[in-house]
Amino acid sequence: MTWQPHITVATIVEDNGRFLMVEELKNGRAVLNQPAGHLDPHETLTEAAVRETLEETGWDVEATGVVGIYLYTAPSNGVTYQRVCFTAKALKHYPDYQLDEGIVRARWLTRDELIALRDDWRSELIIRCIDDYLAGQRHSLELIRPSL
């Protein structure tokens, strides 16, 4: 068996202390996550982050930086994910946008509200990415180099 990490992106969108989160169904249970998903063929990491945010929240965003690159092995299935976490600014909301299958709704939550909902986190990456963002971790989008 060949081991392969799964390349994913996530986006932190903050507005006056509230973070754009996604409530999604995972194994029949509603969990919270940043807008996030897998890299599709023939797209850049930045394009994937913008696309996933729109598909999961109905918000069009502009990527503004990179918070960090994270490795996470899910205890539920042993799969290793490499997450590139972006920061973005909200541009426009499409309230009638058809969200991806399995997405219950988008929610704006403060860090304190997220802490109170800890049992509903999809993974610990949620708070780690937010805390890195709040600590000022920002890298230029130029950190992400296009393929040759």
| Both structure tokens of 88 | 């973005």
In which element (H, E) is residue 26 found? strand 18-26
Mean pLDDT of the 29-57 span: 95
- Answer for the pair 13, 59: CB distance below 8 angstroms, yes or no: yes
- Answer for the pair 140, 95: CB distance below 8 angstroms, yes or no: no
pTM of the model: 0.92
Output the average pLDDT for the chain: 94
Per-residue pLDDT, 13: 98
- Answer for the pair 83, 36: CB distance below 8 angstroms, yes or no: yes
Per-residue pLDDT band for 148 (boundaries 50, 70, 90) equals low
Percent of the chain with pLDDT over 70: 97
Burial class for 100, CB neighbours closer than 10 Å (0-12, 13-18, 19+):
middle
Q: Give the closest residue to 31 by CA, choosing from 88, 84, 95, 105.
A: 105
Percent of the chain with pLDDT over 90: 82
Q: Give the closest residue to 13 by CA, choosing from 33, 28, 39, 42.
A: 33
pLDDT tens string 44-81: 999 999 999 999 999 999 999 999 999 998 888 888 88
Domains of the chain in start order, with CATH, are: 4-141 (3.90.79.10)
